[in-house]
Amino acid sequence: MMRLDLVLFGLAVAALVAWLSWQTRTVEPEIGTIGLAEVLGDAPEHFRRVTGPEPLSFPNDHGSHPDYRSEWWYFTGNFETGAGQRLGFQFTLFRFALNQPQSARSDWSADALWMAHLALSDGRSQRFFQSERFARGALGLAGATPSRWWLRDWVVTATEQGWQLNAEAGEFALDLDMVQTRPLVFQGDAGYSRKGPEPGNASRYYSATRLETRGRIRIDDQWLDVEGLAWLDREWGSNQLSDTLAGWDWFALHLDDGRDLMVYRLRNHEGEASPWSAGALVDSDGGSRTLRYADFSAQPLDWWRDPEGHRWPLAWRISVPGADLDLTTRPVFEDQLWRRSVRYWEGMIDVIDSATGAVIGRGYTELSGYAE
């Protein structure tokens, strides 16, 4: 969901390593070098800030927004095979603009660093597959147009009804067709999603909350036919998160009654929820309403300690009194932890009726800021 400002350090360092590895190749001398300050510095004034609602236009806004510092394209989903094997996936494409874009005089020139995350969760074996790639925005190595998002051969292509994802990473691969069944949800005020009190502490944010998905997933040498539901989040901005924040807890839930629920809980350095936490509830007919901080609560129930000793709250109690929802979320299995340039927990969960204990949905959780 909102990885960007709080993970830019990890992203930028890893991306810088990838960039410098390119510099060891024989390239045109005008590329020069990229200093750490250029990559990690505060967003310069020439980047646009999100300071109020603006109309979004499609399909154009499915593509990249280079006037802003950073953005991402983010899918998650839960599936089953015909034999009932539970699987989940994540694909995220990040764009991180350089503070001083290089000259466009050459095909080698670049104005952004790109990172992609691909993950597969296997509920039966409790294996969590993950892969990370980097590229610069030159030579067609990575990019995002209204109809195609890619990093090398990891590709999302727009179709008449949604998107198709094709990506392969050694032990696993995904070939998925995702059909949009509901109107886009514009988070916050018509897509203007505030994250703090200062001007610019905001992003453009929209979601496709219920994507009917069919396709194939490969684990090792075995291809499995799958079907289920996926979720797309799109977000961009230049300085959206306040430095008073330590992390966030994000939940995207598909309920069996046809409703979709997204809530995110921004946390300060004392672990308390920020009043800028928010969410959205989507009815079975596709109508949606914004949830403010006072409209919901999310409280951790159980914690898991990873092998490095960091504690992660994996079970949660989420309530939306105005929608008569009192939910408990629990992971399908515990260790769905990203261990690449950025450390965060992202995994498939069950949604449980807190009163009856019955499973009434599935979803994904993202937890950030617990490994620092």
Distance between CA 289 and CA 161 in Å, rounded? 24
The confidence score (pLDDT) of residue 326 equals 99
Q: Pairing state of beta strands 172-180 and 162-169? A: antiparallel
The confidence score (pLDDT) of residue 41 equals 35
The confidence score (pLDDT) of residue 63 equals 98
DSSP codes of every residue in 65-99: -TTSSEEEEEEEEEEEETT--EEEEEEEEEEEE-S
CB 338 within 8 A of CB 130: yes
* Domains delineated in the chain: 4-46+59-368 (2.40.370.10)
Give Cβ neighbours of residue 41 (< 8 Å, ≥ 6 apart): 99
Q: Tens-of-pLDDT digits for all 372 residues of the chain? A: 544 444 444 444 444 444 444 443 333 323 333 333 233 334 567 888 999 999 999 999 999 999 999 999 999 999 999 999 999 999 999 999 986 555 555 565 678 899 999 999 999 999 999 999 999 888 899 999 999 999 999 999 999 999 999 999 999 999 999 999 999 999 999 999 999 888 888 999 999 999 999 999 999 999 999 999 999 999 999 877 777 888 999 999 999 999 999 999 999 888 899 999 999 999 999 999 999 999 999 999 999 999 999 999 999 999 999 999 999 999 999 999 999 888 999 999 999 999 999 999 999 999 999 987
The confidence score (pLDDT) of residue 126 equals 98
H or E element that contains 17: helix 4-23
* Cα-based distances in Å from 371 to 16, 185, 302, 306, 338: 21, 31, 17, 9, 11
The confidence score (pLDDT) of residue 105 equals 55
The confidence score (pLDDT) of residue 342 equals 85
The confidence score (pLDDT) of residue 367 equals 97
Long-range contacts of 314-318 (CB under 8 A, 24+ apart): 314/345, 314/365, 314/367, 316/249, 316/251, 316/365, 317/354, 318/251, 318/253, 318/261, 318/263
